[in-house]
Amino acid sequence: MGPGTSREASDRSTQRNRAIASTLISTLATTTPMVLPSGATIAVIPVTTADIIAEVTALVPTPSMSVLHLVNAGLPEVIAEHDLKRFQPGRHLVNAKITGTLPQVLEGPIPHRTWLVSLQMELTKAQKSGRKVTAIKHPTKANLVLPLWALPVWDSIVVASQERMLWVEANDWLRPGEHRPDDWELVEEAHGLMERIPWGMKAWALYGNNAESHMGFLAIFLSISWLAEQNLNIMGVCCNAAAAENGDLVIAYMAPVHLGAQLQWAAEWDDEKVKTNCDLCEFRDTILEKGCRYIHIPANLANAHWVVFLMDVEEKSYCWGVLLLSICLDALLIPRLGPGDSMSVDLYADHIAAVARGLERWTEAAFGTRFANVGRGKDYKIGRQPDTHSCGICVINAIKAAIHGDNLFTAETSSKHRLEHFNEAANYLLRKVCLLSAMHGCTH
């Protein structure tokens, strides 16, 4: 189904849903608890509006809807977080007559998710204190008072809207005119995958914790945005899966981002905590179980730059590779370095030193030998970063080049690498990972 066809279908669906909504009347009655899609619990929801809640849920894009169709879905406007700072959530919980109807709940604008979370917290406080709350006063629409069930309705819609924004940007980035002809086949594959990825599904975090991630993190590959931890982690899974298929996993292994973070924290821990930390013990067991010689460790420095450390278990040594920039990554934060300066080793020296110190303390506790720092990895080949947002792409590429022999990143191939990473990660998730519904427990 082409974009035009899906847009027409979406418009018809929106009109139909509005017609259904217009027949519903908001009412107040006794109360019963209700769980939001986010997992939070609201203590005050009118019992007689249970059917309304069910109808409204049907208006939200279904979790199985593809992200490409979500791009063309009509959703209400969401008020930006900074535009809500002067509206204190607690003051918008009132005991007043309802003036709004269901269509007014749905037509927007809808408060940002951060404000809704604060509103839920204030509602919980009100219930514990015995304060009577029967309605929500809209933050930006004067005299519009809505029933309490507007909160879970808004919550569901905002989740979809946030995901949609990511995929709209990705879809725009995929315009053929933005890419070299050599990459058009990759662009077509990415579009095909967007037809298959369900927007409302979640994948369990791949390393480090038990949180879930919406599929929106995949859209970050298809943009000029700085890569998040989930992006590095999914590529680690893909890289290691390919290594296992090729028989290379016994030689090299890409560690999760969480290990780099743990090593920075370990620099300040006492010896006992370094020795007994559950995550570090688990990483040690993984390395010993897999019998890998080379461990590639992505590290996030100051939430501003990605670098990679390389452990050689056999030689009991480590080195690190940092990206050379043609412009300064932190020109605004470090004025002494202006545009045109290459990134010096000193720019993140303190952060690199923290990872190194933590790595040495951990290897001494885990392997009985403090691994030797052989300095900046002269033999660790890594591409040259031409901008302020490609460091994560460069790190992934450098690791894949070291393990699988991929061509190194260049400014000309930046989009190609992003497309390849998206296609590989999306195919892997659709094929291998158990996806969970964000709302209805669908399986895929």
* CATH code: domain of residue 273: 3.40.395.10
How confident is the model at residue 253, as a pLDDT? 86
Judgement on whether residues 431 and 315 belong to the same structural domain of the protein = yes
How confident is the model at residue 325, as a pLDDT? 39
Residue 185 lies in a domain: no
Residue 173 lies in a domain: no
What is the distance between the alpha carbons of residues 225 and 412, in angstroms, rounded to a whole number?
17
Q: From the centroid of its chain, how far is CA 226? A: 11
Judgement on whether residues 160 and 196 belong to the same structural domain of the protein = no
How confident is the model at residue 241, as a pLDDT? 85
Q: Which of 126, 149, 166 is the last residue of a domain?
A: 166
| Residue 284, φ and ψ in degrees, nearest 5 | -60, -45
How confident is the model at residue 148, as a pLDDT? 86
Judgement on whether residues 157 and 260 belong to the same structural domain of the protein = no
Residue 100 lies in a domain: yes
Determine contact, residues 179/415, Cβ cutoff 8 Å. yes
Judgement on whether residues 206 and 156 belong to the same structural domain of the protein = no
Q: From the centroid of its chain, how far is CA 18? A: 31
Q: Find all residues with CB under 8 Å of 153, minimum gap 6, and list them.
A: 53, 56, 105, 106
What is the distance between the alpha carbons of residues 117 and 99, in angstroms, rounded to a whole number?
23
Each residue's pLDDT tens digit in the chain (444 positions)?
434 444 454 454 444 444 333 333 233 233 334 444 444 444 444 434 455 556 566 667 878 889 999 998 888 889 999 999 999 999 999 999 888 877 787 777 999 999 999 999 999 999 889 889 989 999 999 889 998 888 888 888 888 888 999 999 999 999 877 788 899 999 999 999 999 998 877 765 454 444 556 788 999 999 999 898 889 988 988 888 888 887 765 688 888 888 999 999 999 999 999 999 998 999 899 888 888 889 999 998 888 888 889 999 999 998 887 654 333 333 323 222 222 222 344 567 788 889 999 999 999 999 999 998 887 555 677 777 777 788 889 889 888 888 888 888 888 889 999 999 999 999 988 886 544 433 334 444
Judgement on whether residues 126 and 219 belong to the same structural domain of the protein = no
Give the number of other Cβ atoms within 10 Å of residue 318's Cβ.
23
Residue 35 lies in a domain: yes
DSSP tag of 35: E
Residue 9, amino acid: A
| Alpha-helical runs (H) found in 136-277 | 150-173, 184-194, 216-219, 229-246, 257-266, 271-276
pLDDT in tens, 256-289: 888 999 999 999 999 999 999 998 999 899 888 8
Judgement on whether residues 155 and 251 belong to the same structural domain of the protein = no
How confident is the model at residue 51, as a pLDDT? 54
- Note down the domain range covering 52: 3-166
Residue 177 lies in a domain: no
Judgement on whether residues 152 and 204 belong to the same structural domain of the protein = no
Among 23, 34, 28, 66, which Cα is nearest to 48's? 28
Q: From the centroid of its chain, how far is CA 429? A: 15
- CA dihedral for 272, 278, 283, 286, sign (positive or negative): positive
Give the number of other Cβ atoms within 10 Å of residue 259's Cβ.
27
How confident is the model at residue 403, as a pLDDT? 85
Determine contact, residues 197/213, Cβ cutoff 8 Å. no
How confident is the model at residue 389, as a pLDDT? 84
What is the distance between the alpha carbons of residues 227 and 213, in angstroms, rounded to a whole number?
14
The distance in angstroms from the start CA to the end CA of the chain is: 20
Residue 256 lies in a domain: yes
DSSP tag of 182: G
> Could you tell me the pTM of the whole model?
0.76
Determine contact, residues 310/294, Cβ cutoff 8 Å. yes
Judgement on whether residues 295 and 396 belong to the same structural domain of the protein = yes
What is the distance between the alpha carbons of residues 373 and 371, in angstroms, rounded to a whole number?
7
Report how many domains make up the chain: 2
Judgement on whether residues 406 and 363 belong to the same structural domain of the protein = yes
Determine contact, residues 338/331, Cβ cutoff 8 Å. yes
Judgement on whether residues 33 and 106 belong to the same structural domain of the protein = yes
DSSP tag of 325: B
Q: Find all residues with CB under 8 Å of 238, minimum gap 6, and list them.
A: 424, 425, 428
Judgement on whether residues 276 and 237 belong to the same structural domain of the protein = yes
How confident is the model at residue 106, as a pLDDT? 76
How confident is the model at residue 54, as a pLDDT? 60
Residue 67, amino acid: V
Please, is 206 exposed, middle or buried when counting C-beta atoms within 10 Å of its C-beta (0-12, 13-18, 19+)? buried
Integer angstrom CA distances of residue 288 from 100, 171, 233, 304, 306: 62, 43, 20, 32, 26
How confident is the model at residue 440, as a pLDDT? 39
Residue 172 lies in a domain: no
Judgement on whether residues 243 and 301 belong to the same structural domain of the protein = yes
Among 326, 323, 343, which Cα is nearest to 334's? 343
Determine contact, residues 58/50, Cβ cutoff 8 Å. no
